[in-house]
């Protein structure tokens, strides 16, 4: 009876798998703060993509982890056609073709030696306009490498418009933009920084959003849509379900939510201690995100949950 009258249902197609690929490793590298998640090799990433397709997952969001020696002040690996992310995009497209939406993180934080999402000025502050030039170039090389969707996550002012224009001018009108519209300066990103071997010292409060604010997110939403976003995202998901609901009510484009590394780690850690039932907690958390208005959910459990939903 409960199943028959359930108002909210998860489906494998709701799910997107975030995945990390690391340059220069011969075996997948476990991420200590994210049990069950690894930094993939190129080969293991292709296997993970194929498993996601078989499970019915809709998409995979790729994050590249370059060798430390290749990072520099402007994030050169992010625009190098042979950078690890671009190589991984080509690998995955060759493996799964159009059976899986192949998405790419469009940001500089994984590739800069200072760990910020943009180019810094002489005073060590993020230079918004100089960063936009880098984002435009990143969009072009990611599209050329095979990305179906680019996900600008740096929270620079005007980034969606600049990226849309760069893609269109390069003949990539069909490449979609998933805008990180409401990305908060959250304490829950910690494990992710281990996952991408971040060089960040300090924080990103000058360009990510204040957790205390709501209207700021709605203003960013209006700007992203005006600039050409095809889809929008709220990140993190669990602590910001009210924001997610407001965004979903306000738009007629697909709305995604990212269940981030800290949300994942808390459930896995508590379950390991025997304090909660792991599988029930995972499904409850994801159902809550869907109930709040997410059309799609980025979650590190995507393939596992999709397989269970299909069984």
- Return the residue matching tokens 């095979």: 146
Confidence of residue 44 (pLDDT cuts 50, 70, 90): very high
Task: Determine contact, residues 251/199, Cβ cutoff 8 Å.
Answer: no
Nearest by Cα to 256 from 236, 281, 242: 236
User: What pLDDT shows up at residue 198?
Assistant: 67
Examine residue 295 and say whether the peptide bond preceding it is cis (omega within 30 degrees of 0): no
Nearest by Cα to 201 from 127, 124, 264, 134: 124
Nearest by Cα to 250 from 183, 182, 160, 174: 182
User: What is the pTM assigned to this prediction?
Assistant: 0.94
Q: How far, in Å, are 65, 80, 157, 245 from residue 192 at the CA level?
A: 12, 23, 23, 25
Output the six-digit token pair for 70: 């290749």
Could you tell me the domains of the chain?
A: 2-310 (3.20.20.70)
- The region, left, alpha or beta by phi > 0 then psi within -120 to 50, assigned to residue 13 is alpha
* Rounded CA separation 152/104 (Å): 9
Confidence of residue 200 (pLDDT cuts 50, 70, 90): low
Give me Rg for the CA atoms of the chain: 18
- Per DSSP, 78 falls in state G
User: Once rounded to an integer, what is the mean pLDDT over residues 40-51?
Assistant: 98
List, in order, residues 6 or more apart from 192 with CB less than 8 Å away: 198, 260, 261, 262
Average pLDDT, the chain: 93
Tell me, yes or no, if 235 is annotated catalytic.
yes
* Rounded CA separation 253/146 (Å): 23
Task: Determine contact, residues 64/84, Cβ cutoff 8 Å.
Answer: yes
3-state secondary structure of 137: helix
3-state secondary structure of 179: strand
In DSSP terms, 184 is beta-bridged to: 209
Count CB neighbours of 146 within 10 A: 18
User: Once rounded to an integer, what is the mean pLDDT over residues 208-228?
Assistant: 92
| pLDDT beyond 70 at 227 | yes
| pLDDT beyond 90 at 249 | yes
Nearest by Cα to 167 from 230, 232, 235: 230
| pLDDT beyond 70 at 81 | yes
User: Once rounded to an integer, what is the mean pLDDT over residues 88-107?
Assistant: 97
Cα–Cα–Cα angle for 273, 277, 279, rounded to 5 degrees: 120
- Give the dihedral sign, CA 97/101/105/106: positive
Share of the chain above pLDDT 70, in %: 96
Catalytic-labelled residue, pool 46, 70, 71, 183: 183
255-305 pLDDT tens trace: 999 999 999 999 999 999 999 999 999 999 999 999 999 999 999 999 999
169-184 pLDDT tens trace: 999 999 999 999 999 9
Tell me, yes or no, if 205 is annotated catalytic.
no
Nearest by Cα to 138 from 160, 107, 162, 164: 107
First to last CA, the chain: 19
Catalytic-labelled residue, pool 46, 71, 235, 290: 235
Task: Determine contact, residues 173/126, Cβ cutoff 8 Å.
Answer: no
Share of the chain above pLDDT 90, in %: 80
Nearest by Cα to 153 from 201, 96, 196: 196
Confidence of residue 311 (pLDDT cuts 50, 70, 90): confident
User: Once rounded to an integer, what is the mean pLDDT over residues 20-45?
Assistant: 95
3-state secondary structure of 307: helix
User: What pLDDT shows up at residue 252?
Assistant: 94
């Amino acid at each position: 009876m409960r199943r028959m009258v359930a108002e909210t249902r998860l489906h494998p197609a709701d799910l997107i798998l975030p995945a990390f690929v690391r340059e220069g490793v011969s075996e997948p590298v476990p991420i200590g703060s994210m049990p069950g998640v690894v930094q993939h090799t190129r080969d293991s990433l292709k296997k993970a993509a194929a498993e996601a397709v078989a499970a019915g997952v809709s998409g995979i969001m790729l994050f590249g982890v370059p060798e430390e020696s290749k990072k520099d002040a402007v994030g050169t690996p992010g625009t190098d056609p042979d950078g690890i992310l671009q190589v991984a995009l080509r690998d995955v497209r060759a493996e799964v073709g159009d059976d899986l939406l192949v998405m790419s993180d469009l940001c500089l934080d994984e590739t800069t030696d200072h760990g910020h999402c943009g180019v810094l000025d002489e005073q060590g502050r993020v230079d918004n306009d100089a960063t936009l030039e880098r984002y435009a170039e990143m969009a072009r090389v990611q599209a050329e490498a095979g990305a179906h969707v680019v996900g600008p996550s740096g929270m620079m002012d005007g980034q969606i418009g600049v990226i849309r224009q760069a893609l269109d001018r390069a003949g990539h009108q069909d490449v979609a933009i998933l805008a990180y519209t409401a990305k908060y300066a959250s304490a829950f990103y910690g494990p992710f920084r281990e996952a991408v071997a971040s060089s960040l010292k300090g924080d990103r409060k000058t360009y990510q959003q204040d957790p205390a604010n709501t209207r700021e997110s709605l203003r960013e939403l209006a700007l992203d849509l005006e600039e050409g976003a095809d889809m929008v995202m709220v990140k993190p998901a669990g602590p910001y379900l009210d924001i997610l609901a407001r965004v979903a009510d306000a738009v007629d484009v697909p709305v995604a939510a990212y269940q981030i590394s800290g949300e994942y780690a808390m459930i896995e850690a508590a379950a390991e201690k025997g304090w909660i039932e792991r599988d029930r907690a995972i499904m409850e958390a994801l159902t809550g995100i869907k109930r709040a208005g997410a059309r799609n959910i980025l979650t590190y459990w995507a393939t596992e949950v999709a397989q269970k939903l299909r069984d």
